């Protein structure tokens, strides 16, 4: 399974569920039980996504190992080691390559997602949960994780820019009346957009600077 296809399918599924909820919400009274159930589903998807992504990364690493092993030149690299004199340790070159090439972007984005989940959760709780719905925190964390690194950085910046643009437009329409714009329907579309334009983002100098 292609990793990007898996990620896009998750985002599209959640976006479809959000849109469906908006239609059903106008006709059905959403009970506390349904809210808790929905939150559990999103938590499960978050954990499931972590499991599948790293499973696919291990599979990519295996394919890379097989490719190197079948080539007479690269086969010799499998026995090489990378020395870290400052730490007085050495690591097998292929393991070092696999970690930096495949795993590092998602390890960093996973850490970013967990930091967001903790800090945004504390901020939201401090303000009586008026900024985010409970499942939004998990949607944001999921999007940050699945966009990888440095995709997560561009996702976060893009989300802020889209939010500010919408806020400015609505402020002009409603004559600068105080209003709060919800991010609920922005998490998934912004993430989908970042994944789609990924092949252009990787050409940016900032991307290359942030990339491990």
pLDDT single digits (tens) 138-190: 999 999 999 999 999 999 999 999 888 888 888 777 766 556 777 888 899 99
Find the domain containing 128 and state its range.
Answer: 3-210
pLDDT on residue 90 = 78
Of 70 and 85, the one with more pLDDT: 70
Q: How far apart are alpha carbons 119 and 158 in whole angstroms?
A: 19
Say what the pLDDT of residue 31 is: 40
Cα(22)–Cα(147) distance, integer angstroms: 25
Q: Which of 66, 141, 53 is nearest to 105 (CA)?
A: 53
Is residue 63 over pLDDT 70?
yes
pLDDT of 17 higher than 80: no
- Report how many domains make up the chain: 1
**CA dist., res. 82 & res. 97, Å (int):** 10
pLDDT tens per residue across span 29-62 = 544 445 556 788 889 999 999 999 999 999 999 9
Q: Do the Cβ atoms of 81 and 178 come closer than 8 Å? A: no
Q: Is 92 left (phi over 0), alpha (psi -120 to 50) or beta?
A: beta
The whole-number pLDDT of residue 85 equals: 62
> Strand, helix or coil at 90?
strand
Six-digit token pair at 150? 């440095």
Of 141, 171, 173, which Cα lies nearest the Cα of 159? 141
Asked whether the beta carbons of 84 and 77 are under 8 A apart, the reply is no
pLDDT of res. 94: 87
Show the tokens assigned to 16.
């479809």
Averaged pLDDT, 5-31: 71
pLDDT tens per residue, range 84-118? 766 667 788 888 889 999 999 999 999 999 999 99
- pLDDT for residue 196 is more than 60: yes
Q: What percent of the chain has pLDDT over 70?
A: 86
Residue 79: pLDDT over 90: no
């Amino acid at each position: 399974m292609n990793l990007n296809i898996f990620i896009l399918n998750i985002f599209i599924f959640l976006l479809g569920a959000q849109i469906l909820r908006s239609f059903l919400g106008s006709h059905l009274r959403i009970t506390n039980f349904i809210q808790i159930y929905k939150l559990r589903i999103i938590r499960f998807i978050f954990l499931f996504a972590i499991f599948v992504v790293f499973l696919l990364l291990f599979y990519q690493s295996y394919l890379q190992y097989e490719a190197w092993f079948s080539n007479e030149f690269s086969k010799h690299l499998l026995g090489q080691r990378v020395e870290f004199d400052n730490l007085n340790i050495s690591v097998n070159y292929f393991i070092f390559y696999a970690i930096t090439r495949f795993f590092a972007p998602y390890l960093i984005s996973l850490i970013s997602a967990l930091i967001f989940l903790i800090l945004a959760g504390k901020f939201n709780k401090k303000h009586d949960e008026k900024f985010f719905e409970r499942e939004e925190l998990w949607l944001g964390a999921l999007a940050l994780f699945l966009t990888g690194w440095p995709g997560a950085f561009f996702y976060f910046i893009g989300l802020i820019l889209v939010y500010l643009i919408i806020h400015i437009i609505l402020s002009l329409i409603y004559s600068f009346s105080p209003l709060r714009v919800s991010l609920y329907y922005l998490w998934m579309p912004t993430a989908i957009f970042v994944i789609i334009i990924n092949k252009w983002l990787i050409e940016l100098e900032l991307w290359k600077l942030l990339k491990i």
